[in-house]
Amino acid sequence: MSAVIREVKIFSGRDSREFAQSICSNLGVPLATVKTKRFADGEISVSIEESVRGTDVYVVQPTCKPANEHLMELLIMVDALRRASAHHVNLVIPYFGYARQDRKTKAREPITAKLVANLIEKAGADRVITADLHAGQIQGFFDIPLDHLMGGPLLASYFRENLSGDLKDDALTVVSPDIGGVARARTFAGYLGDPGLAIVDKWRSHEVANVCEVMDIIGNVDGKTCILVDDIIDTAGTMVKAAAALKERGAKRVYACATHGILSDPAVDRLKTSEIEELILTDTIPLPEEKKIDKIKVLSIAPLFAEAMRRIHLDQSIDTLFSANGKN
């Protein structure tokens, strides 16, 4: 007996309509209608404006700034869809907020990423699709399926196209801005054919007066075009300092990339005057007009999410999607 292919409906939170519309365009389905309003005391109210009974629903909503607002809106939408008899409620969370609170680093600290996972499950979600979690172990915080997409291949494809000369001449080096990101940088280098790899080692000096932070470079960057790789850029302080250290050690040019561009103040001002020639981001977090500067280029990861959603709906392998994406 052939499997039943249910109707798909895609909903969006208030601040993610552009990303959701891009997914819909790739899948050839219209964006479903939902109305959200706020009461005088700040409470959020959600109204699903069309029938979802028996359908497979996808809700697109990154939990970026304001994180609490977006998270609460997402949870309310899940509850509304569950009560409206949706068959499956799948969450598309391009950027998973609170991911940096994934463990206890001192006594009496919460593990907020786990709390958020519990809230999502309790609200009634059946599946989560996200990209580049800050800590991979967060996948284990969920007892429902979680599909973890990677922005690295998309970002690497940009550099393969625009820095092909440096790749050909063995003049490219991938750089981790800290020790903790070495595995990520090594994986990214693999997408580029394994060029050179370097690490920025940040440490505190107790011997030099008034110097609390020193940047050492592990690896050869002299005369090289360097690509700094991270998953998140927030205030851009680490990235900007790392770029300056690379230039001091003889780097020819410095680029930077990350899947998630939070860009909290004063990130944009720092980037404007930094040694970074270009910062490449994906659109997991909407970039407001006031933060759009010439140095920042945004690539859309929505087609990757759309393809993942299509394969999930048809019960096809996501693993093959990763393999193909990494080779393109």
- Per residue in 185-206, pLDDT tens? 999 999 999 999 999 997 765 5
Mean pLDDT of the chain: 93
Strand 214-218, strand 196-203: pairing: antiparallel
Residue 251 CA to residue 197 CA, distance in Å, equals 13
Number of other CB atoms surrounding residue 40 within 10 Å:
5
Residues noted as catalytic: 202
**Residue pair 98/72 in contact by the 8 Å Cβ criterion:** no
**Residue pair 145/181 in contact by the 8 Å Cβ criterion:** no
Alpha helices (H) along the chain:
17-27, 67-83, 112-123, 152-162, 164-168, 182-191, 237-248, 267-272, 302-313, 319-327
Residue 103 CA to residue 204 CA, distance in Å, equals 24
Does one domain contain both 286 and 315?
Answer: no
Q: How confident is the model at residue 325 (pLDDT cuts 50, 70, 90)?
A: very low
Is the pLDDT assigned to residue 124 strictly greater than 60? yes
- Per residue in 37-72, pLDDT tens? 999 999 999 999 999 999 999 999 999 999 999 999
Does one domain contain both 256 and 284?
Answer: yes
Q: What pLDDT, on the 0 to 100 scale, is given for residue 5?
A: 74
Q: Is 39 part of a structural domain of the chain?
A: yes
Q: Is 1 part of a structural domain of the chain?
A: no
Range of the domain at 112: 8-150+302-327
Q: Is 3 part of a structural domain of the chain?
A: no
Residue 304: φ, ψ to 5°:
-65, -45
Does one domain contain both 143 and 188?
Answer: no
Residue 78 CA to residue 52 CA, distance in Å, equals 12
Does one domain contain both 206 and 322?
Answer: no
- Per residue in 128-185, pLDDT tens? 999 999 999 999 999 999 999 999 999 999 999 999 999 999 999 999 999 999 999 9
For the chain, what is the radius of gyration of the CA atoms?
A: 21
Q: Is 306 part of a structural domain of the chain?
A: yes
Residue 90 CA to residue 92 CA, distance in Å, equals 7
Give 73's contacts (C-beta < 8 A, 6+ positions apart): 13, 14, 36, 44, 46, 61
Residue 47 CA to residue 131 CA, distance in Å, equals 28
Q: How confident is the model at residue 6 (pLDDT cuts 50, 70, 90)?
A: confident
Q: Is 43 part of a structural domain of the chain?
A: yes
Name the nearest CA neighbour of 97 among 123, 79, 126, 75: 75
Average pLDDT score over residue span 104-127 = 97
Does one domain contain both 279 and 311?
Answer: no
Q: DSSP for 172-209, please give it.
A: EEEEESSGGGHHHHHHHHHHTTS-EEEEEEEE--SSST
Q: What pLDDT, on the 0 to 100 scale, is given for residue 202?
A: 78
Does one domain contain both 137 and 26?
Answer: yes
Does one domain contain both 68 and 164?
Answer: no
Q: Is 214 part of a structural domain of the chain?
A: yes
Does one domain contain both 47 and 170?
Answer: no
Residue 52 CA to residue 10 CA, distance in Å, equals 10
Q: What pLDDT, on the 0 to 100 scale, is given for residue 40?
A: 94
Q: How confident is the model at residue 322 (pLDDT cuts 50, 70, 90)?
A: low
pTM reported for the whole predicted model:
0.92
Q: Is 2 part of a structural domain of the chain?
A: no
Average pLDDT score over residue span 306-315 = 95
Number of independent structural domains in the chain? 2
Is the pLDDT assigned to residue 15 strictly greater than 50? yes
Does one domain contain both 258 and 216?
Answer: yes
Q: Is 285 part of a structural domain of the chain?
A: yes
Does one domain contain both 167 and 59?
Answer: no
Q: What pLDDT, on the 0 to 100 scale, is given for residue 318?
A: 86
Residue 272 CA to residue 294 CA, distance in Å, equals 9
Angle at 131 between CA 323 and CA 310, to 5 degrees: 60
Q: For residue 35, give the CATH number of its domain.
A: 3.40.50.2020
Does one domain contain both 261 and 171?
Answer: yes
Residue 39: φ, ψ to 5°:
-80, 170
Does one domain contain both 35 and 84?
Answer: yes
